[in-house]
Amino acid sequence: MNSQNQTLYKYTACFFILWSTFQGTYSTAKYFQHQYEASLFSLNIEKRIALDLNKLRLANPIFSTISHPPSVKRYIKELNAYLDVQNSNVKLLKLQNIGIDIEGGYSIRNSTLTPTEQKIEIAIAIFDWPYLTTLTPAALFLAILLTYLSFKIYVKTNSEAVNLSEFSQPTSPVKLSINLHDKTLVNVKFGNEIELSNKPFCFYVALLEYCIKEPHPLLIQSKNVPEDIIALANKYFYRLIEIGHTKRKRPDFSTNLDKTLSEIRATLDAVFLHQPQDKELFYPPKAQGEGSRSKLHNYALEHLDPSFLEIKGK
């Protein structure tokens, strides 16, 4: 099951759960209302009969009277007509074994009145609860509305999460891009782009490549520049000529090392202006303290990670 089908299934299920919840709540409330009204109307019928006993021609053993079914049935019908006007969900079915026929489904509630040692049996018909009439469009509307709103929130949240993921996942934590086509050093994360002159540019690219190839580079500033670095620097200088940057005489990469490194460091300071802590990966270390030109100073990039570096136009 693909992602779209899963989403469709999820929100279809959500709709039916919401609709069932709202409809069930409404129907349950209507059911208890139906039961309450039936009880209330039944009590009112019993009270009405108790008040009308003197007018009813019912059998009374004390007074040796017998029932008069036609008048009793007429009373029952008149009382039921009044109940119809009141939209009652009950009707009087039988009064002391004298009853009428009532159409429809119903249950019977029996009760007894005992005035002056007389027993008046009463049967009341309580109509069945109309399940289908309790279906409400409000439940359907609310279920559709909440399902739609939850889907819109899901789409918006998912879109923001994707955008945030794309924004917050750079190609690498830190990246320096060196472009031979325009002799620039570029901070990929912040876009800082600085151009470097021919000699320090070629020397720096050569230094980077040398330090990547050497597992433990050792470059003592007081000693001669290794031939491998000079050869690499010459290679990149000739590459600049091929690209069309210069027609000048090839510089001597073995001289003025201090000045060359200073220019490289100044450029890196500008490139990593907003990330001074990250430039150390690409920064030729400076000599510290007294004897800064001593044989102990190593300007090699010992912690250079090639995955954080790209060279364009080699």
Q: Is 222 left (phi over 0), alpha (psi -120 to 50) or beta?
A: alpha
- Considering only 19-23, 80-84, 85-89, 293-297, which range has the smallest mean pLDDT? 293-297
d(CA 208, CA 222): 19
What would the pLDDT profile of 226-261 be if each residue is shown by its tens digit? 999 999 999 999 999 988 887 778 899 999 999 999
**Count H helices, E strands: the chain?**
6, 8
What would the pLDDT profile of 167-183 be if each residue is shown by its tens digit? 544 445 668 999 999 99
DSSP conformational letter for 131: S
Does this model's pTM top 0.85? My answer is no
Supply the pLDDT for residue 76.
92
Supply the pLDDT for residue 192.
85
Model confidence at 221, pLDDT cuts 50, 70, 90, reads confident
Measure Cα distances from 177 to 172, 211, 212, 229, 244 in Å: 12, 16, 15, 20, 20
Measure Cα distances from 85 to 81, 82, 147, 188 in Å: 7, 5, 42, 84
Select from 231, 193, 147, 217 the least CA-distant residue to 312. Answer: 193
DSSP conformational letter for 311: E
- Considering only 19-23, 152-156, 249-253, which range has the smallest mean pLDDT? 152-156
